[in-house]
Amino acid sequence: MINSPSPLHIPEDLFSTLKNSKHVVVFTGAGVSAESGIPTFRDRLTGLWERFNAANLASPEAFKKDPALVWGWYEWRRMKILQAQPNAAHMAIARLEKHVPALTLITQNVDDLHERAGSISVSHLHGRLDKPRCFSCHRPHLLPPDIPNEPEDGRRVDPPKCTQCDGLIRPGVVWFGESLPETTLSSAFKAAKTCDLLFVAGTSGVVMPAAEIPRKAKRAGAKVVEVNPVPAMENANWTFANGAGQFFDQLLKGL
């Protein structure tokens, strides 16, 4: 059943399912962070980046070919994240944890907005931009907490060097052509198979292997809720063509 974006009506049977759930999973994607002003890969790039396709900057091959270009673009993205603030969805999801016996939060986003909103344990399927590592030896690298001094349109920036092997430091995200972290993905699948209710918010929920999360939940008997301005899932029990902030804020008010 698809609920129209305005006005937002959350049916009583969903509230009842939520109140009776012992384990809830919330699975978020780029649409949630977009409500905080963080550009998604689908957004048109501007300034220096206008002539590039974001997908072409997000690969090991691109980094090997031009590390300063790739690092500069990711520093621009990191600047955007540091300037952003958690939105209503982040805040409500953090509060939701206090209303259910157990909540597992899984995200495809590489920012820390869920953590800044108060969520304690967040599984990042695609890594985190503020946790870079060496391209050669994979050791973690600490970045200064200050906002990068980047102009709005970005620029090329030479990546720092590893203090252990002198290799180049790369963003701590999962690039195209790389596998999702096995432990994180395995934990996400386990949570999906043991939950009573799963919310899919701000993501199409159809790109593999992350698309297996709602499918595993559904096969295990859980109810699935899709929250996305452009719904894409076929097997959700409830579908809301709304922004995540609007939905979760109203969901919390109704509890």
The catalytic site residues sit at 126
Q: State both tokens at 49.
A: 């980046």
CA angle 97, 111, 75 (to 5 degrees): 170
Q: Is 202 left (phi over 0), alpha (psi -120 to 50) or beta?
A: left
Q: In angstroms, rounded to a whole number, what is the distance separating the alpha carbons of residues 238 and 85?
A: 29
Backbone φ and ψ of 252, nearest 5°: -65, -35
Q: HSE on the CB side for 244, CA within 13 Å?
A: 28
Strand order in the sheet with 197-201: 2-3, 238-240, 223-227, 197-201, 24-28, 103-107, 122-124
The residue length of the chain stands at: 255
Q: In angstroms, rounded to a whole number, what is the distance separating the alpha carbons of residues 198 and 26?
A: 6
How many CB atoms are closer than 10 A to CB 64? 12
Q: In angstroms, rounded to a whole number, what is the distance separating the alpha carbons of residues 193 and 178?
A: 25
How many CB atoms are closer than 10 A to CB 45? 18
